Amino acid sequence: MRLSSIPHLLRCLCLPILILIGGQSAVAAPAQVLYPRPETAGDPRTDYPVTLLRLALAKSGGQFALQPTRETMLQGRALSELATGSGSPRVVWSMTSREREKALLPIRIPIYKGLIGWRIPLIHKQNPDLLKEVNTVDGLKTLRTAQGHDWPDTDILRAAQLNVSGVVGYESLFSMLHTQRIDYFPRSLAEIWAEIKNHSAKDIAIDTHVVIHYDTAFYYFVNNQDTALAQAIERGLEAAIADGSFDRLFYQNYANLIKRAELDKRVVIELPNPLLPPETPLGRKELWFRPAKTTNAGK
């Protein structure tokens, strides 16, 4: 063999190897999945849904890189950009409604097992017994409350004829309670203790007398055309339910909070949820949290 032919031979031998390596790299590249960066830096409400989503994607059989968006996003903007495909988020978690399930593709597995519908009121420290004598929905109608202007909760409370203001800006709601422009601010059992810790300077307290309850679900939502991602998330969540890792993660995060809420010692005020889509899987008992017992239920 002539020496001049050796470089050509080496190129021929190396080319298939380079193609193979390049092909493997392309296959192994994870798909980027962006979720909205929270409005408040270090917001603990993001920790659990991100961890659960990471678990689901890991169990889906695909390869994904889960990251927050570069800039913070209010919920309304995130949902709008997700629906139109005009922005960066590929997944948003939010409370479901008929309107949202038309605009977006829901993965109908409630990530908080319905815990988000168990609402404990925040009150001002000067009024610790504000709700002591409240036993029914009518007892709430004379009091002022507020929710996010684009939250389904706002419409649920209005449907029950409660005096509720829709407010732009999550932090504004705590300021309104601090300045007593509202009397109480219902928060989910999953959120309230972290929120009271983060707003300890605002003279607010957790009511010990009542809990407001309505059936609802927080889902992961994707764009209507992003069916592959929806299927991956659903596949991963179902796998986590089947092997018990979903419930383990849920109770690691919320068992102590559920115990701390002492639901059996509170008056339960039930509200209907006219926004709940008929496709909500209420018949799948394994998907929902239900307290062992409640007393003095009021309507």
- Report which residue type is found at 230: A
Q: Does the structure show a pLDDT above 60 at 94?
A: yes
Which residues, other chains included, contact 298 with Cβ-Cβ below 8 Å and sequence gap of 6+?
A: 134, 135, 136, 137, 139, 267, 268, 269, 270
pLDDT band at 3 (very low <50, low <70, confident <90, very high): very low
| Number of other CB atoms surrounding residue 80 within 10 Å | 15
Q: How far apart are CA 243 and CA 245, in angstroms?
A: 6
Q: Does the structure show a pLDDT above 70 at 293?
A: no
3-state helix vs strand vs coil in the chain, percent to 5: 45, 20, 35
Q: Does the structure show a pLDDT above 90 at 25?
A: no
pLDDT band at 6 (very low <50, low <70, confident <90, very high): very low
Within 13 Å and on the Cβ side, how many CA atoms surround 42?
4
pLDDT given at position 297:
52
Per-residue model confidence as pLDDT tens digits over 157-166: 999 999 999 9
pLDDT given at position 41:
73
Which is nearest to 87 in space by CA: 101, 70, 99? 70
Q: What are phi and psi of 147, to 5 degrees?
A: -145, 170
Q: What are phi and psi of 21, to 5 degrees?
A: -65, -45
Look at the chain and count its residues.
299
pLDDT given at position 292:
79
- Residue whose structure tokens are 């408040």: 40
Q: What are phi and psi of 72, to 5 degrees?
A: -70, 155
Per-residue model confidence as pLDDT tens digits over 178-187: 999 999 999 9
Q: If DSSP codes are grouped into helix, strand and coil, which group holds residue 106?
A: strand
Are residues 154 and 182 in contact, defined by beta-carbon separation less than 8 angstroms?
Answer: no
Q: How far apart are CA 7 and CA 167, in angstroms?
A: 72
Which residues, other chains included, contact 94 with Cβ-Cβ below 8 Å and sequence gap of 6+?
A: 75, 79, 100, 218, 219, 221
Q: Does the structure show a pLDDT above 50 at 9?
A: no
User: In the predicted model, what is the mean pLDDT of residues 127-152?
Assistant: 96
Q: How far apart are CA 10 and CA 18, in angstroms?
A: 12
Query: Is the full-model pTM beyond 0.85?
Result: no
Per-residue model confidence as pLDDT tens digits over 109-137: 999 999 999 999 999 999 999 999 999 99
Q: Does the structure show a pLDDT above 70 at 263?
A: yes
Per-residue model confidence as pLDDT tens digits over 207-243: 999 999 999 999 999 999 999 999 999 999 999 999 9
Cα dihedral 261, 267, 270, 271 in deg (nearest 10): -80
pLDDT given at position 22:
53
Q: Does the structure show a pLDDT above 60 at 288?
A: yes
Give the least confident one: 11-20, 26-35, 72-81. Answer: 11-20
C-alpha 255: how far from chain center: 17
Q: Does the structure show a pLDDT above 50 at 43?
A: yes
Q: How far apart are CA 67 and CA 34, in angstroms?
A: 5
pLDDT given at position 99:
94
Alpha helices in the chain (DSSP H): 6-28, 47-59, 75-84, 98-103, 137-140, 152-159, 170-178, 192-198, 227-243, 245-261
pLDDT given at position 39:
77
